Amino acid sequence: MQPTPHDPSPLALLETMMLIRAYEEAVAGIAAGGSAPGTCTSVGQEAAAVGVVRALAHEDRILTNHRSAGHLLARGADPGRLLAEVLGKRTGYCKGKSGSLHISAAELGVVLTSTIVGGELSLAPGVALARTMTPGDEGIVATFFGDGAACEGVFHESLNLAVVWKLPILYVCENNEWQAFVHRRETMPMAHVRDWAASHGLIAETVDGNDVAAVHAAASRLAARIRETGEPAFLETLTYRTRGHYEPDDQAYVDPGELAAWRARDPIELLANRLRLAGTLDDLRLAQIRARVLAAIDEAAAFANASPYPELSELVTDVYA
């Protein structure tokens, strides 16, 4: 039903972004109903997620954070098992023990998700180190984090170690202008995290995070360079969190003008319009895609809802290996 993880055709990227949007809106609906409280959606940031994840190879590893649905779905995660996890069901990727905030899926190469802001940054060098010490392991490590995570000291510790030890890490900072209920402008003297990253002496770029093609191109270029040199690189996707920090959130603290301006640059519409102009998309085709993703999400919701909760005996398992 979904495109395979590594089909980079524009239509495939579009369908994946639409799948993520539909998934997140479904989650928001569930949360509005009182379930899955505290879920953080990535609405508005789909291009930043899809553009990078689709630039990665099968053998690469991904570390992500609390706002991970886009990364997971772009990587080919089953929306049913994701929703099941969000609802704390036994069939979720983490048996319901994680819930929405730290979903890992080792089978997809999405490892060690932490909802501690900066957690993924502290773990990524070790994942990359293991790869450099494993003969024949060519994979790189992509770690996703926000502008807020860059304010944690461990961001700098992580970049410095990756540079000094030459670790193959693609640092992907999703700068969505928000750090929970605080605007990025209140927490940093400059507009871009890139300035901090560059001081560590690694390649550091920014890209329009709402333009999936631009993100995909930049991420592909940097990923290739990391494979070639074995050294880390930093990519900042400039985007915006158009829903609240978590569900539900009335966004009363958000400047309506800023929000409207970014909504006008919706990444899905940007790509759809471009494809329309290019003649590769028309209303019928778009409707077909929308129908497919909605059907996929309906199916996922049905699966998640029908899934059982874990046995109470699960409370004390998976603590020690």
Ligand X SMILES: Cc1ncc(C[n+]2csc(CCOP(=O)(O)OP(=O)(O)O)c2C)c(N)n1
Residues lying near its own copies in the complex (CB under 8 A) are found at 151-157, 160, 163-164, 186-190, 195-196, 198-201
Q: Which does 71 bind (CB under 5 to 8 A by kind): its own copies, ligand X, Mg ion, none?
A: none
Cβ closer to Mg ion: 258 or 282? Answer: 258
Q: Is 133 helix (H, G, I), strand (E, B) or coil?
A: coil
Q: Which does 111 bind (CB under 5 to 8 A by kind): another protein, its own copies, ligand X, none?
A: another protein
Cβ closer to its own copies: 153 or 256? Answer: 153
Contacting residue, 176, 206, 210, 307, with Mg ion by CB under 5 A: 176
Nearest to 101 by CA among 38, 34, 53, 32: 38
Considering only residues 179 through 238, tell me which ones interact with another protein, judged by CB under 8 A.
179-182, 186-188
Rounded distance between C-alpha atoms, residue 172 and residue 161, angstroms = 16
Is 2 one of the binding residues for another protein (CB under 8 A)?
A: no
Contacting residue, 21, 67, 81, 131, with ligand X by CB under 6 A: 67
Element (H, E) at 304: helix 283-306
Rounded distance between C-alpha atoms, residue 165 and residue 158, angstroms = 10
Nearest approach in angstroms of CB 52 to Mg ion is 16
Cβ closer to ligand X: 173 or 300? Answer: 173
Considering only residues 59 through 118, tell me which ones interact with another protein, judged by CB under 8 A.
61, 88-89, 92-102, 104-106, 111-118
Considering only residues 136 through 175, tell me which ones interact with ligand X, judged by CB under 6 A.
145-149, 174
Q: Which does 314 bind (CB under 5 to 8 A by kind): Mg ion, ligand X, another protein, none?
A: another protein
CB 293, CB 18: distance < 8 Å: yes
Contacting residue, 41, 68, 104, 115, with ligand X by CB under 6 A: 115
- Under 8 Å CB-to-CB from 183, ≥6 apart: which residues? 177
Span interacting with Mg ion, options 79-87, 97-105, 174-182, 197-205, rule CB under 5 A: 174-182
Nearest to 261 by CA among 201, 177, 154: 177
Nearest approach in angstroms of CB 81 to ligand X is 22
Q: How many helices (H) and strands (E) does the chain have?
A: 11, 7
**DSSP per residue over 25-90, as a string?**
HHHHHHHHTTSSTTPPP-TT-HHHHHHHHTTS-TT-EEE--SS-HHHHHHTT--HHHHHHHHTT-T
Nearest approach in angstroms of CB 9 to another protein is 31
Tokens 């040199």 correspond to 229
Beta 182-183 vs 203-208: how paired, if at all? Answer: unpaired
Nearest approach in angstroms of CB 268 to another protein is 28
Q: By CB under 6 A, how many residues form the interface with ligand X?
A: 18
Cβ closer to Mg ion: 23 or 144? Answer: 144
Rounded distance between C-alpha atoms, residue 265 and residue 272, angstroms = 12
Rounded distance between C-alpha atoms, residue 145 and residue 112, angstroms = 13
Q: By CB under 8 A, how many residues form the interface with another protein?
A: 73
Considering only residues 226 through 255, tell me which ones interact with ligand X, judged by CB under 6 A.
241
Residues that bind ligand X (CB under 6 A): 40, 66-67, 115-118, 145-149, 174, 176, 178-180, 241
